[in-house]
Structure 1
Amino acid sequence: MKIHHLNCGSVREIDPTYEGLPSTAAVNHCLLVETPRDGLVLVETGLGLDDVRRPADTLGAEWVEMAQPALIEDETALRQVERLGFAAADVRHILVTHLDVDHCGGLPDFPHAAVHVLEAELQAAVREAPSRRYRPAHWAHGPQWRTYESTGDDWFGFSSIRPVGLPEEFKLVPMGGHTAGHTGIAVHDGTRWLLHCGDAYYYHRELDADPEPHPLLDIVQTGSEVDHDERVNTQARLRILARDHAAEVTLFSAHDPWEFGRLAS
């Protein structure tokens, strides 16, 4: 499989907490996976065309003020898929860590794709929308939902679920705390696992043995958690995974621009 790292929506500029890294815009880190038999698989969508064109309607004015998105059409997943020579219909599956606006805004751009998400997340989104977190415009087209419970087979000490219709190289890895049904998404590239941790953590130094949260990103992280203890426990388990299985698994979060720069290059 061929895996592309895509930034599908730059947001406000942030500074690193130590010297040697540039200040840069936070990202919405997505993966586009070319599979031999199952078409294109998109992991997260970032912001979509409607978000760029009508942000106050689809994203909400409060979120726009907080995140300060760049709103660049060429950064949408659809436009990046097209630049690679594909069409929207070639994206047959979308896996989302959760349904916050910046993670699923591009769903309407791929109306024919099956959308894989934890059942608890879909229920929370439908129940709570509209809110700063969940915007019904992102699923008003009636996605082909495929939902899952939060339990499954063991994967490096985490529960894991194989999404229906996809090969064993894809797994949903539930990681609670940020939202009601937050999950990581693991993809095997033929050599090692890539683990998209969504918003289970925000900044690469949170995985250090002596963790250091980012002062700005941590405001967002703590302000949006639904279960503090579960979120903290998830991060502790990710720290162990990063320490004990570094040769087998590469972890990254949704918004850390320095992780994205390293992996995209």
Structure 2
Amino acid sequence: MSVWDVTAIRYADRTARIRADSFIFDDDHAAPHPMDYFMWLLRREEEVILVDTGYDGPEGNRRDRPILIDPRDALKPYGLTADDITTVIVTHLHYDHAGGLHLFPNATLHIQASEMAYATGPCMCHAVLRMPFTGDHICEAVKRLHSGRVVFADGDAQVAEGVTVHRIGGHSKGLQAVRVRTQAGWLCLASDAAHFYENFLTGQPFPIVVDVAEMLEGFAILRRLASRPELIVPGHDPLVRDLFPADSRGGWKLSAGPTKPRPDFE
């Protein structure tokens, strides 16, 4: 069976964060705790899958979270244009993962049915749950649905040979992780099922959460999905850039596994 190359591409960061922004329970809530924002590129010969889309400059300005690079420009060193992307796995519809849907007009979206229901349903009457979403992004997903370019999953599903999605929930009702067969084994792109290594290694919930129990149970699911814990890749941890080798095009190569040992938070 052939394997996929997986690349993490950083398009934004936030350095003015503290540990209280990342962990519900912590002994040092005031300590600095920066965050990276990634999307992930999967390639196997001529096949290309983009996992999440990032967000664009106007969204960054609106939220006072400027981007480092436009997601479309981040793909150019890999010989890809936005129009080349025909398959996007949307791990969930929060602004930083689905804020660039409109940038990839030819893409069919793979998303959990429960995420679409959550983002368009009565839970959005609550400002605290609505905050990570932007209405225009949800409207883009709905327009894509009505043009016949949304594929829904209800739990576990296969997107392509060697690429599967798995509903985790917790952070958002339909959040899904992505399991990819690579040369190192089964790699698990956790997305926001674990923002940081420390979340799943210590059982520390992230504060933006709709279901704490599902988030905690999701940490165990991540371990089952990956061939070994080192192949769980969190969604926002700057440590990814330290543990995995950089390529020459601006990204980090995940497919062969990490080249440095992970810090032991456990």
TM above 0.5? yes
2:59 to 39, 47, 51: 51
Kept after mapping to 2: 8 A contact 1:126/1:136: no
Residues 109-154 of structure 1, C-alpha deviation per residue, up to 9 Å, x if partnerless?
Answer: 001101111000011112228931221212444222211112xxxx
SS of the residue corresponding to residue 13 of structure 2 reads coil
Is 1:162 aligned with 2:158? yes
Residue 239 (structure 1) shift: 5.0
Stretch moving more, 127-136 or 104-113: 127-136
Is 1:78 aligned with 2:72? yes
Distance 1:239 1:3 in 2: 19
Q: Which residue of 2 aligns with 1:32?
A: 41
Q: Which residue of 2 aligns with 1:202?
A: 195
Distance 2:18 2:138 in 1: 34
Residues 11-63 of structure 1, C-alpha deviation per residue, up to 9 Å, x if partnerless?
Answer: 2345789xxxxx7741112211223243x2111112224424xx32xxxxxxx
Kept after mapping to 2: 8 A contact 1:121/1:179: yes
Question: Over the residues paired in the alignment, what is the CA RMSD in angstroms?
Answer: 2.7
Distance 1:34 1:240 in 2: 24
Aligned residues: 221
Structure 1: gaps (5+ residues): 18-22, 57-63, 151-159
1:264 to 1:121, Cα distance in 2 relative to 1, 3 A: farther
Runs of at least 4 residues off by over 3 Å: 12-17, 236-242
**Identity %, equivalent residues:** 20
Q: Which residue of 2 aligns with 1:146?
A: 151
1:227 to 1:87, Cα distance in 2 relative to 1, 3 A: same
Structure 2: gaps (5+ residues): 20-25, 27-31, 247-266
SS of the residue corresponding to residue 243 of structure 2 reads helix
Distance 1:261 1:48 in 2: 25
TM-score normalised according to structure 2 size: 0.73
SS of the residue corresponding to residue 162 of structure 1 reads strand
Residue 172 (structure 1) shift: 0.2
Is 1:93 aligned with 2:87? yes
Distance 1:2 1:83 in 2: 15
Distance 2:163 2:221 in 1: 20
Kept after mapping to 2: 8 A contact 1:78/1:109: yes
1:1-265 alignment, distance < 5 Å: 1-14=4-17, 25-38=34-47, 40-52=48-60, 55-56=61-62, 64=63, 69-72=65-68, 74=69, 76-127=70-121, 128=124, 131-141=130-140, 142-143=143-144, 144-150=149-155, 160-163=156-159, 167-208=160-201, 211=202, 213=204, 221-222=206-207, 224-238=208-222, 245-246=227-228, 250-265=231-246
